[in-house]
Chains A and B, each alone.
Chain A
Amino acid sequence: MLETRAYSLIPKMGEKSKPTSLLIRGGHVIDPAARIDAPMDIMLRDGRVTEVAPPNKIRGGAEEKFDARGLIVAPGFIDLHVHLREPGQTYKETIASGTAAAAAGGFTSVCCMPNTTPTIDSQEWVNWLRQPERGAVVNVFPVAAATHASKGAVLTDFRGLQRAGAVAVTDDGRPILDNDIMRECLRLSGELSFPVVQHAEDTRLTENCPMNDGPTSFRLGLRGWKTSAEASIVDRDVQLAQQIPNARLHVAHLSAADSLKAVRRGKRSRARVTCEVTPHHFTLTDEAVDDYDANCKMNPPLRSAADIESLVVALGDGTVDAIATDHAPHASHEKQLEFERAAFGITGLETALGLAITRLHREHKIPLARIVELFTEGPARVFELRGRGSLARGSHADVTIFDPKKRWTFDVSKSRSLSRNSPFDGWQLTGRVIATIVGGRLVYRGE
């Protein structure tokens, strides 16, 4: 039933979208980019924000009205890091199912990673991802491969990929290890203002390491993935970014306290270095692996309590630019295996806001406005998504409406993702998405 409601406002294929208007009344707007944190009404018309004004000041009628009393109205959330698994891995996820999960999690834009089958390393595939036939219900921004087939040897056509609509390049799932290749990537990124996203892992040190190195890995008899294997790559990349004019480096799913040092150093030196942190890395420690729970296996792995402490500080103080989910759906047969053989990654779109509010806001007292920033203005700036991440007049009409006090229980069996690999099944969370609006149209309505 929720499904029909969620999709009812989306134009059917081929149907020309009629002009629409939607008035969101009575809510409390938090828009860090526009420095708004106050009760406001918002008018959306023809896919744009046309007016933001104090309560009951907006004149002129709207075809639809949304009563947001008691709710937070924020710019549409942006996820810099998702795996939609299309093309080629549609048994895990499709663009349609992945974006439906995104909508349910309050995300109006997702940036999808290129490690599909085949790898997204050409303009044709970037175009393909963006075609309406894919059935996306939220905006999809492709991140293309930095090297052919992400093999780390030959650079892709950055300029062409950017022209086709890619917002960044990465070999995610694999690092760009070679110094010369990384230097060349960063040089081009500076020229084109086209971020290079690095999966920071020195794979020469992490072979057969399914979890974090520490007491738990020793106890379970598993080889440990040391934080230094991440930090050393972040360190090298920041050094390169400091040397190359305008280089744009974005560190994906930063997990270790050690890696933050290099990011801070880069930011202080005014190098264009950004980073993201996932909800699972600020929520769970490696102890969650407990008795070989493959839903706690991801790359980078869950770290120690001390790492979480440092990540929380960095999320609060501005070192971290964005919360990104690294939503990584896998079929059950890829997870119900011996721990070392199980696939890396978990789903995360539907639990991100709840975890951020529960952990960062309620437990660690990070202000709600900062959390909204990490989901909106922060990520919009990282990939330079113009007209997104803010509700300033003229912006895209992407809005996320949520109840920061609503308690709810995540039930993975009801997930909109095709996959079920979440460690948060049955978790009680505070903070729930009530409505997700993309281009002025309601794409998700929660309770």
Chain B
Amino acid sequence: MKKVARGSLLGIEHLEAAEILKLLQLARRMNPQRPRALLKGKRVVLLFYEPSTRTRSSFEIAAKSMGAMTTLVQSSGSSIEKGESLLDTGYTLRAVGADIIVIRHPLAGAPHLMAQHLDIPVVNAGDGMHEHPSQALLDAYTILKHKKTLKGLHVSIVGDIYHSRVARSACHLLTKFGAKITLCGPPEFVPEVAATLAPGLNVTRHIEEALRGADVITLLRVQKERLSGMKLRLDDYIARYQMTMHRLKIAKRDAIVMHPGPIIRGLELTGEVADCPQSVIVDEVRNGVPTRMAILARAGRSRV
């Protein structure tokens, strides 16, 4: 691994469990209603090469509430449209005074490339199919509001694991703390190789098997256009993998239902599941703010 500025958050995979715990503890101390000005005078650039609602707005609110100045740079309407390379964009943002760059990019590894060439912290807000570390952290934060510990927890992740950066980050994070994870979906979405991602991962094609004894159920968005590229029909997917109230009963009584959003009601889950008391989908979004405050505070205080 090449050296990157301290405070960078590129992925969960290479983070130590202790480091993750520190971030979660810091997030718990963050109060979005009464924030401390930990980033006073800092300039946070939100560099978004992909559309985003939740991640972008919660990073922005997190930064601003701690006194930072934020600038949003998007691929359209910037020099990126004129063909400026990722690194040149990074050098430019550094030159105008960025202290932290939060980057969302459709290509895996883009934040790593930028971090390897810049002397300021780079925070990965999602890179291609690779990682989405802030989502994994806010999900762990959310789980810990409902469960005492991650150790021994049965977590089922259902849906399009292959294309999901959320799933990859979640697998890395939860297995570091001894959770048992079952990945569930058709082979096109959950190839056998997925089990090699982290120790203690299981793969199953049957949702009933995935749900039996589950403490946490994470559903992933299924993109219709991806289904059409495969031999799987939409109604087949719904019949075999959609989360319904009936299926939810297979899981533990106190199981929680999670989803990184955006949700498609009637596809990966029914509207009843999305709105049921066991669903913590809206909490996840809410918890994104203190979690991202913690991530930015960590980045802001440790400039090299």
Contacts and interface: CB of A to CB of B under 8 A. Distances in A.
Interface of A: 213-215, 218-222, 290-292, 333, 336-341
A338 B197 contact: no
A213 B127 CA distance: 19
Given A218-B197, A338-B107, 13 more contacts: A215-B196, A215-B197, A219-B13, A219-B197, A220-B108, A221-B108, A222-B129, A290-B1, A291-B1, A291-B109, A336-B117, A338-B86, A339-B107
A340 B113 CA distance: 12
Contacts of B193: 213-215, 218
Contacts of B213: none
A221 B105 CA distance: 13
Interface string B79-104: 00000011100000000000000000
A334 B191 CA distance: 32
Of A215, A218, A290, chain B has the most CB atoms within 10 Å of the CB of A218
Contacts of B129: 221-222
A214 B108 CA distance: 16
A213 B192 CA distance: 12
B107 A218 contact: no
Of B129, B131, B197, chain A has the most CB atoms within 10 Å of the CB of B129
Given A218-B191, A221-B168, A340-B107, A291 B197 contact: no
Contacts of A338: 86, 105, 107-110, 113
A292 B1 contact: no
Smallest CB-CB A-B distances: 5 pairs: A221-B130, A292-B109, A221-B129, A221-B108, A215-B196
B41 to A, nearest CB: 32
Contact of A291 (B112, B165, B194): B112
Chain A binding site: helix, strand, loop or mixed by DSSP? loop
B34 interface: no
A292 B108 contact: yes
Contacts of B117: 336
Of A214, A222, A292, A333, chain B has the most CB atoms within 10 Å of the CB of A292
Interface of B: 1-2, 13, 85-87, 105, 107-110, 112-113, 117, 127-131, 162, 165, 168, 191, 193-194, 196-197
A426 B148 CA distance: 49
A108 to B, nearest CB: 38
A438 B117 CA distance: 43
Contacts of A333: 85
A336 B1 CA distance: 16
A100 to B, nearest CB: 30
A333 B85 CA distance: 9
Nearest to B114: A338
A333 B168 CA distance: 30
Contacts of A220: 108-109, 130
A77 to B, nearest CB: 34
A280 to B, nearest CB: 20
Given A333-B85, A340-B108, A221 B127 contact: yes
B85 A222 contact: no
A221 B131 contact: yes
Contact of B113 (A213, A214, A215, A337): A337
16 contacts: A215-B196, A215-B197, A218-B162, A218-B194, A218-B196, A221-B108, A221-B131, A222-B109, A222-B128, A292-B112, A292-B113, A333-B85, A336-B113, A337-B85, A338-B109, A340-B108
A337 B86 contact: yes
A336 B87 contact: yes
A340 B110 CA distance: 9
Contacts of B196: 215, 218-219
A290 B113 CA distance: 12
Contacts of B191: 218
A221 B166 CA distance: 11
Of B107, B109, B168, B197, chain A has the most CB atoms within 10 Å of the CB of B109
Contacts of B131: 221
Given A292-B112, A337-B86, A338-B110, A221 B165 contact: yes
Nearest to A214: B193
Given A291-B1, A291-B2, A219 B109 contact: no
Contacts of B165: 221
Contacts of A336: 85, 87, 113, 117
A10 to B, nearest CB: 40
A44 to B, nearest CB: 48
Contacts of A337: 85-87, 113
Contact of A341 (B1, B107, B162): B107
A333 B117 CA distance: 13
Contacts of B86: 337-338
A221 B13 CA distance: 12
Nearest to B198: A219
A79 to B, nearest CB: 31
A215 B201 CA distance: 13
B155 to A, nearest CB: 19
Contacts of A290: 1
A292 to B, nearest CB: 3
A218 B161 CA distance: 10
A291 B196 CA distance: 17
A208 to B, nearest CB: 10
A307 to B, nearest CB: 16
B165 to A, nearest CB: 6
B267 to A, nearest CB: 23
A220 B108 CA distance: 7
B113 A219 contact: no
A333 B83 CA distance: 13
Nearest to B4: A291
B135 to A, nearest CB: 14
A292 B197 CA distance: 17
A341 B108 CA distance: 10
Contacts of B1: 290-291
Contacts of B112: 291-292
B191 to A, nearest CB: 7
Of A220, A333, A339, chain B has the most CB atoms within 10 Å of the CB of A220
A220 B197 CA distance: 10
Nearest to B162: A218
